[in-house]
Structure 1
């Protein structure tokens, strides 16, 4: 197999995939646009009732009447502010939901003072809800969700931890303290319920936690860098599984599993509810009016006897896809950094990349170094590929003689070719197999560079101040195209078809055009890889000439 033809096939496959992604985004099935969004958001709280929790599908429950909800949204006194060194959070005393979470250390654009909003209310609704349903659960009350009280309207982290207690009590003597515990430097928040039963009978409650998001909110992906925005979950049998908004529209998720978690994913960020990992939980999803997607978890019902107090806890994560921290929170949560089926290659490569960064303190230089390491480690494969292709080119005259001799007799032609390969000690797949072995590694490294939040707003040198966005002056794409052209000239070809020759000649130009929109970090990786390949090819061809192997 000629390397040029391989690059052509890979390039055309990439272009086809990107065009398909663009078509899906522009012309594929689209969710219905919200009508009167603010009222609809508040009216459709989507909280499961106790009866629904026992059903097969856990359908939507409009637990807050529309008029009541709209009136309540105008009451700004029920919103409390919580600020730590990592999070700027708004908690609604109605239900104790997190309706806003700004990531202080992640500006929305490079150099901006405005933090990135992961959770948000209003347009682009994306909130984290939780509560207690069940026979005595306040979130299943016919009068609507509970309105908690707080001692302060604003909280500020000054030490290692910050405790934000919300309290509620009914006339029968059941009191609940919903506590949010924030930790310095962390994006995971402990959410606990202390249920005190001062009544004369046992109380039954069932905790739930869910994420609700509008489905047609614009994301930051494009045809040249497709990203996933949607839901995901984990079970005991499947550590990580996506559940897209389209799937939520088509069918409600219903899985019972020990441990598990649910989440909503964006390119670099994730929110997730992690219940107790020692119990059996039920994961569910809902489609609310084809406008909002809900994914949540129901934990086992709890009985609090008269005079007893019981604590129920879960974890809410709102932050970047930091693999090390996510892995500590729950099994499989680090897989939200989605490397696809090649994660088992990508994760060691990411560890190597972070190690190199720790040495040079520059992600651009780390990308150069890891490309050198990977290309160097695969040099023996590259050498076998080039030598095999050279031997195949040397056999071209003899192959033509066989074609002239046997004509259309395919059986004799095949036998003669096998004999020629055996005699000349040439493996016809020798040029293809090394390439097939290299491709998974290069694709894995591609996903590492695309998915790693560490590269977001990462500075390199001179005009490249953000490796996660395109080169503003398109210098790297032009240099990459030039390196592809030099590689093409360096490698002789036996392609005789004029059309294929024309396509090969224009291939560097085509790829340069696509690289214009690629993140600078990815283009840097491709450019360095091409330059190293040029150097390796020169070395291999020089070695072949010394051994009398022609490259013409």
Structure 2
């Protein structure tokens, strides 16, 4: 078994001299030639120096701009499309030179070589590149005391790049795809490290949750991601020997073990489904939906299909919501029928509760007989709702993570479905429809306090949804409207049934 460790970035002084690097504190063996790495050794951030951020080459494509610094790293990555600009009209910068770990950064296991690598500059065969349709390459060369490092990077319009690292003599080293972008980070969505393992399963390590060094043999994808954006390496054939170490604030740091002649591919950019799928369908796994991914993926496929029909993401959300409601209608109908039956029996239930207030066993026995005699199921109203919860939560995850909604208009006052409704029309409409649905829905509350709390739910939800993306609020509003229509229909059926029973009597 080969033993190795990942050294930290040598701290650079203002005169670009190097401070002594600490020796790794501990090591333990791990499978597949991967040895445990001390988190202290990889969490260090180099001090800035006068020329550490010097840019040696700039790559421009229609959708992005890349700047590579003198240490052969991607120091800056800008998105050029109009929707990826802030309120001041400035481009989103996914990679920042101030980050502790940059894409394409190499760290050698040999301390002397590693220190040398953070002093000696790379040279580039071109200082400016315009990315062509078939890709454009730049060759970076770094001459160290006893090894020459050559990086050949081919950039493509999609944001994909191919990397070929070649050493003049074999040396053990690690390569990083960098830390995750920090453009879209919130408490509702995942941000951290994502690994697609050799068996195809997904492992996620959220920021703040990295506890121990994790090792993955033959990993297919090694990614850092926030809500909408990502930077990752991938090798879908033989895979990558990968290490996820513990950085500052227990954030995960990503590395892959390099070879003397090493090839892999990478991507930096938005987690757009169409773009990632065009590179490889497997890369869409970087779009993380959580526990209900198996439901969320088909739902997004449905949403994308409907967008192809309507040409508008807002109307696609409306159509998807209605479609889901129709598919779940049998379950919804059963639940509504059961609730109506329970409402009819509520007076008799109260009589039994008064009669057997001191004998719970008899009360339960007589209640079960009452339900059985009238074909009512006390769980009939809850079970269908419980079965629908995973679907609704999956829809929520899809709409929270779909970058396709960014900059996508719906109707005249909603010009961006990925941000809150600027006039709060949708949250208010959602609250009103929730209140109306509550008013026409049969209830069987026996606790007055519980009934009062339920009456305040529409108001609570309205305030809750004020800051939610307009696309998500649109879904909930449409869902409420569909629920009202269905409840009216079921109520009408019961009213008709009562009239028929009266006529028979």
Partner residue of 2:51?
Answer: 72
Residue equivalent to 2:253: 294
The two structures, once aligned, show a CA RMSD in angstroms of 3.7
Match of residue 415, structure 1, among 365, 369, 376: 365
CA contact (8 A) 1:48 1:58 kept: no
**Counterpart Cα distance in 1 of 2:122 and 2:43:** 16
The change in CA–CA distance for 1:254 and 1:48 in structure 2 (over 3 A counts) is farther
> Per the alignment, do residues 146 and 62 of structure 1 end up closer, same or farther by CA in structure 2, a change over 3 Å counting?
farther
Residues of 2 paired with 1:147 and 1:540: CA distance? 74
- With normalisation by structure 2, the TM-score equals 0.84
| Structure 1 stretch displaced more, 251-260 or 444-453 | 251-260
Pairwise mapping of residues 351-366 of structure 1 onto structure 2 (< 5 A)? 351-366=301-316
Contact conserved, 1:406 with 1:412, CA < 8 A, in 2?
yes
CA distance in 1, matches of 2:330, 2:236: 49
Matched, 1:322 2:286: no
Shift in CA distance, 550/409, structure 1 to aligned 2, threshold 3 Å = farther
SS at match of 2:433: helix
* Correspondence for 1:188: 160
Aligned equivalents of 1:42 and 1:391: distance in 2?
81
- Whole-Å separation in 2 of the counterparts to 1:47 and 1:213: 22
Contact map agreement 1:240 1:332 (CA 8 A) in 2: no
Distance 1:45 1:515, change over 3 A: farther
**2 CA distance for matches of 1:331 and 1:229?**
22
**Aligned in 2, Cα 1:54/1:466: closer, same or farther, shift over 3 Å?**
closer
Conserved in 2, the CA contact under 8 Å of 1:107 and 1:115? Answer: no
SS at structure 1 position matched to 2:395 = helix
Deviation per residue, 1:146-196 (Å, 9 max, x gap): 422112222112442111111234576x54431110112x1121111244x
- SS of structure 2 residue aligned to 1:476: helix
- CA distance in 1: counterparts of 2:45 and 2:479, whole angstroms: 60
Distance 1:141 1:538 in 2: 74
Q: Which residue of 1 aligns with 2:170?
A: 204
Which of 203, 206, 211 is equivalent to 1:241? 203
**Residue correspondence of structure 1 range 158-177 to structure 2 within 5 A:** 158-169=132-143, 175-177=148-150
**1:111-260 to 2 correspondences below 5 Å:** 113-122=89-98, 127-131=102-106, 133=108, 140=114, 142=116, 144=118, 146-169=120-143, 175-184=148-157, 186-195=158-167, 197=168, 203-213=169-179, 220-221=185-186, 226-237=188-199, 239-248=201-210, 251-260=211-220
Q: Flag the 1:321–1:47 CA change in 2: closer, same or farther, 3 A.
A: farther
- Preserved contact between residue 321 and residue 453 of structure 1 (Cα < 8 Å): yes
SS at match of 2:467: coil
- Map Cα deviations across residues 232-273 of structure 1 (whole Å, 9 max, x no partner): 32323572222233233xx34231412343221111011112
Asked whether the equivalents of residues 132 and 207 of structure 1 are also in contact (C-alpha less than 8 Å), the reply is: yes
1:82 aligns with 2:59: yes
Give the aligned length. 484
Moved more, 271-280 or 464-473: 271-280
Helix, strand or coil at the partner of 2:457: helix
- Which residue of structure 1 aligns with residue 393 of structure 2? 443
Identify the residue that residue 345 of structure 1 maps to in structure 2.
Answer: 295
Gaps of 5+ in 2: 1-10, 28-32
Q: Which residue pairs with 1:405 in the alignment?
A: 355
3-state DSSP of counterpart to 1:160:
coil
Within 2, Cα distance between the matches of 1:283 and 1:48? Answer: 19
Residue 6 of structure 2 corresponds to none
**Could you tell me how far 1:496 is from its partner in structure 2?**
5.3
Cα deviation digits, residues 190-213 of structure 1 (max 9, x gap): 111244x4xxxxx32335221444
Q: Unpaired runs of 5+ in structure 1?
A: 1-35, 198-202, 303-310
Q: Distance in 1 between matches of 2:303 and 2:207?
A: 33
Q: 1:38 to 1:274 in 2, by over 3 A?
A: farther
Q: Deviations over 1:459-498 (max 9, x none)?
A: 1111100001111111111111111121122124343544
Kindly indicate whether the alpha-carbon contact (under 8 Å) linking 1:350 and 1:448 is maintained by their aligned counterparts in 2. Answer: yes
What is the DSSP-based 3-state SS (H/G/I as helix, E as strand, rest coil) of the residue aligned with 1:246?
A: coil
| Counterpart-to-counterpart distance in 2, 1:538 and 1:211 | 55
> By how many angstroms is 1:539 displaced?
1.2
Task: Please say if residues 119 and 127 of structure 1, whose CA atoms lie closer than 8 Å, have aligned partners that are also in contact.
Answer: yes
Alignment-derived partner of residue 79 in structure 2: 103
